[in-house]
Structure 1
Amino acid sequence: MTIFILFAGFFFLVLIGLPIALALGISSWLTITFASNVNTSTIIQKAFDSLDSFPLLAIPFFILAGVLMSNGGISERLLDLANVLVGYLVGGLAMVTIVASMFFAAISGSGPATVAAVGSFMIPEMKKQNYGQGFAAAITASAGSIGVLIPPSIPFVMYGVVAQVSIGSMFIAGILPGLVVGLALMAIAYGISKKNDYVGVGEIPSFMDVLRSLNRAKLALLVPVIILGGIYGGFFSATESAAVAAVYAWLISTFVYKELDAKQLYQSFAQAALTNSVTVIIIGFSISFAYLMTLERIPVIIGEFISGLSDSPIIIFLVINLFLLVVGMFIDTISALVILTPILLPVVTDLGMDPVHFGVILVLNLAIGFVTPPLGVNLFVATGVGKVSFERISKAMIPILIVMFISLLIVTYVPPLSTYLPSFMEN
């Protein structure tokens, strides 16, 4: 009865359109009230206790850094660099969108933020060059999903906290898988562009053109170098690196690029605060939900069920991926990380999978959830920015999703893509 009320209540509330955070909190309250002897104040207590965490301070600072960089002229310089590097290729503007998203991912750590920052420039530009509206929005939404793989990554921070894994190792682990997904998206973008005669823009750049663009964007490109170099150089922790990134973003946007005045700075802080407030509520109620699951031994039950499906790790990993893909269609990334990590991590570690490798797989699955209906946060951001119907962008996503699924399988069954760089850095 407890399990039924918890999950049935949650999914019912989500289906009627209640925000995920409230659905988690209300379903937890219903379960405690009607099927448990736990005090109802436990929901609030667990929510507040979960936020009393030093590593979680990284999340608001990374959000602030991304907003400051976006409002401070960084995205324009990254787009210019991407345009010089790949704009002349077949489907040049689509290629620029993907490469620019990979650059911006190294700043914002957020998928939706990447879509908004890059899409506001690139979707209108692709429309002007007669790219299909659905394709323009779809490639932008899918490229934005790379934002949670290439460091810094807010979901990696959350996973590191829940799984008690080094956040610095998670940051490093996401680099190669992020490149795999980016190259896969470029391949499908090239194929679709070739079929539809989406030509490149401009000429093949000279060496000096590349140097000039690199020079303009060098301060933005230094962000991941400062973050990762500082962590592995022992100068600051992963949490402190987020604060360093925010201060650095403010300094270069205000005093170097001079595109961030006092009014824009206030708006940036307000925007970051609103974004973080939603994240904090989701984290708090997700912890309460996960606490009730633990009391009822739900993680153990689900883990035993999955383990009993097959003796083959290959089959188990495939089942877990399919399960995560479905979850990503309905539940936001933070909630899914908090709820599913305690359930699935013991299963995969018993089968010999490195926790860092599993963290990358988990986040990549949920990143694909950014571009799969009905939740599809990136899709909604792209439709809003590009003024494209949800039906049109969903149809254009089909071949792109196939390529992303293939990338997921590669990352799952080729562990060194996730584990080599962390082991190299630790040694």
Structure 2
Amino acid sequence: MAKTLIILFFAALLLGVPVAFTMGVAGMAAIFIEGGLNPLVATQRMFAGIDSFPLMAVPFFILASELMTACGLTRSLLRFANALVGHLRGGLGHVNVLVSMLFAGISGSALADAAGPSAIVMRMMREAGYDRHYAGALSAATATIGPIIPPSILAVIFAISTNGVTVAGLFLAGLVPGLLLGIALAFANHVISMKHGYRGRETRADMSELLGAGLAALPALVMPAIILGGIIFGVFTPTEAGAVASAYALLLGFVLRAFSLRGLYVAFVRAAVITSSVFLIIAMASIFAWLLTYLQIPQELARLVTSITDTRLGILFILAAFALICGFFIDTLPALIILTPVLGPIAYGAGIDPLQFGMMLVLNLTIGMVTPPVGPVLFVIASVGQLKLDALFRAVLPLLAAELVVLLLVILVPGISTFVPTFFGFSN
């Protein structure tokens, strides 16, 4: 059955079948063709995959992001970021990085960032004389900060796919890696701006402009503090935090009178459509992941890995390389659901902290969002900016190198992922 499952999966991928249906069709076809299992198990696994209380956080965080965007607060974040770092060398590039870090605390999604604030800054950079493909590449790279800084949708998915880690713990584990990712991309932008002569705004923002921009952006900046503060101090669970974030965004829109009936309707519809696609992927991937476990593929892979090396660091490097390659060909969310039960037992058996492994895996697959042939963020940016995909990929290479340095640090230094959760009592 294992051979049938793998062959059908890759055959469907090559035929261009959407990855959610690829996993579901491959799993159900393998069950029917090989026999030995009741076909009803496919339906049971689909339902079990989405029957999770922590998973309810996902639609709430998606809705909160859509409502905050409908409020028009993305522009406020842009003005605030421009006032802070716009005067530096390559100023709009630094604005791109900073606004993605700020927006990550609202959306938790790379695609939402790429289609929203990153796309806006990309157009600003092009109008200011930056190379159009570099502007697109930086916008794609900065969008990958979204799934790392909490609240992260991928962190929720990982936490419900494995044992020994909580959503709150993984949220906190992403703080330092997310900050390092922003610093690495800002440094790369500075080097590239020095080389090509990209300058910042002519005058540095004075205190009045800085305070004005900060006050305008304050409603958006408060949301991450509400989410993390409530979780850390035990006021609510991560799932309840999503509901609180949605309620806050809705209340804020009415207070600021930023909603029109049309805009509110569009925000709810978009959130519903995105949530439906996410849950469909999770349900279909649950069949595939369960079959892999049932066929004892994780055990076979564990024996293969330990035959190569039995050191903790060596095993972590092998798992990271395997995940990175998978990220090139499989979209982030289904890859996470498939790889977590497969690679997780190997990592835990080698004594790797689940928080470090989770952050390594999430960061790894997020980097895959800006690498061909799948690279969904690259496709979004190329479509929005009307850019050639091959030129966009060449422009993103030095930025990918910066992200890989951060990944290397996460692998080599466990404390990058574990210090903050341990400090607040969310260690394993």
TM-score by structure 2 length?
Answer: 0.97
Q: Could you give the per-residue CA deviations for residues 349-374 of structure 1, whole angstroms, max 9, x where no partner exists?
A: 22221101111111000110110001
Alignment of 1:88-99 (within 5 A): 88-99=87-98
Q: What is the percent sequence identity of the aligned residues?
A: 38
Q: Who is 1:241 aligned against?
A: 241
Residue 63 of structure 2 aligns with which residue?
64
C-alpha contact 1:254 1:261 (8 A) present in aligned 2? no
Once residues 389 and 407 of structure 2 are traced to their aligned partners in structure 1, the CA distance between those partners, rounded to angstroms, is: 25
Moved more, 223-232 or 340-349: 340-349
Could you tell me how far 1:90 is from its partner in structure 2? 1.1
Q: Distance in 1 between matches of 2:274 and 2:425?
A: 34
Identify the range of structure 1 (269-278 vs 39-48) with the bigger mean alpha-carbon deviation.
Answer: 39-48
8 Å CA contact 1:29–1:40 kept in 2: the answer is yes
Specify the SS of the correspondent of 1:370: helix
Q: Tell me the number of residue pairs that the alignment of Structure 1 and Structure 2 aligns.
A: 425
How far apart are the structure 2 equivalents of 1:213 and 1:352? Answer: 47
Give the secondary structure class of the aligned counterpart of 2:308: coil
For residues 332-388 of structure 1, give each alpha carbon's deviation from its aligned partner in whole angstroms, at most 9, with x where no partner exists. Answer: 222122211112122222222110111111100011011000111110111122121
Contact 1:119 1:385 in 2 (8 A): no
Q: Matches of 2:119 and 2:294 in 1, distance apart?
A: 46
Amino acid paired to 2:32: T
Query: 2:51 is matched with which residue?
Result: 52
Cα deviation per residue 1:386-408 (whole Å; 9 max; x = unaligned)? 12111111110111111111110
Alignment of 1:136-285 (within 5 A): 136-164=135-163, 165-256=165-256, 258-285=257-284
Give the aligned partner of residue 37 of structure 2. 38
For 1:308 and 1:137, the matched residues in 2 are separated by 43
Which residue identity does 2:225 align to in structure 1?
V
Runs of 5+ unmatched residues, structure 2:
none
Amino acid at match of 1:55: P
The AA in structure 1 aligned to 2:152 is S
**How far apart, in 1, do the equivalents of 2:132 and 2:382 lie?**
10
Matched, 1:302 2:301: yes
Moved more, 358-367 or 304-313: 304-313
Aligned to 2:393: 394
Q: CA deviation at 1:46?
A: 1.1
Q: Secondary structure at the residue paired with 2:309? A: coil
Q: Which amino acid aligns with 2:409?
A: I
Partner of 1:371: 370
Letter in 1 for 2:353: D
- How far off is 1:39 after superposition? 2.1
Q: 2:227 and 2:259 mapped to 1: Cα distance?
A: 22
Within-5 A mapping of 1:329-348: 329-348=328-347
Distance 1:36 1:293, change over 3 A: farther
Tell me the residue number matched to 1:118: 117
Alignment TM-score, normalising by the size of structure 1 = 0.97
- Which has the higher mean CA deviation after the structures are superposed, 50-59 or 40-49? 40-49
What is the one-letter code of the residue matched to 1:88?
H
CA distance in 1, matches of 2:73, 2:209: 19
What is the 5 A alignment of 1:404-423?
Answer: 404-423=403-422
The structural deviation recorded for 1:45 is 2.1
The 8 Å contact of residues 293 and 342 in structure 2, kept in 1 or not, is answered as no
Deviation by residue 1:205-251 (Cα, 9 ceiling, x = unmatched): 23333222211111111111101111122111100100110111111
Q: Tell me by how many angstroms 1:95 deviates.
A: 0.8
How far 1:114 sits from its partner (Å)? 0.7
Superposed displacement of residue 123, structure 1: 1.3
| Residues in 2 aligned to 1:358 and 1:315: alpha-carbon distance in whole angstroms | 13
Residue type of the alignment partner of 1:214:
G
Paired letter, 2:101? M
Where does residue 384 of structure 1 map in the other structure?
Answer: 383
1:310-329 matches, cutoff 5 A: 310-329=309-328
Q: Is the 8 A contact 2:97 2:186 kept in 1?
A: yes
Contact 1:324 1:366 (C-alpha < 8 Å) held by counterparts = yes
Q: Which runs of 5+ in 1 are unaligned?
A: none
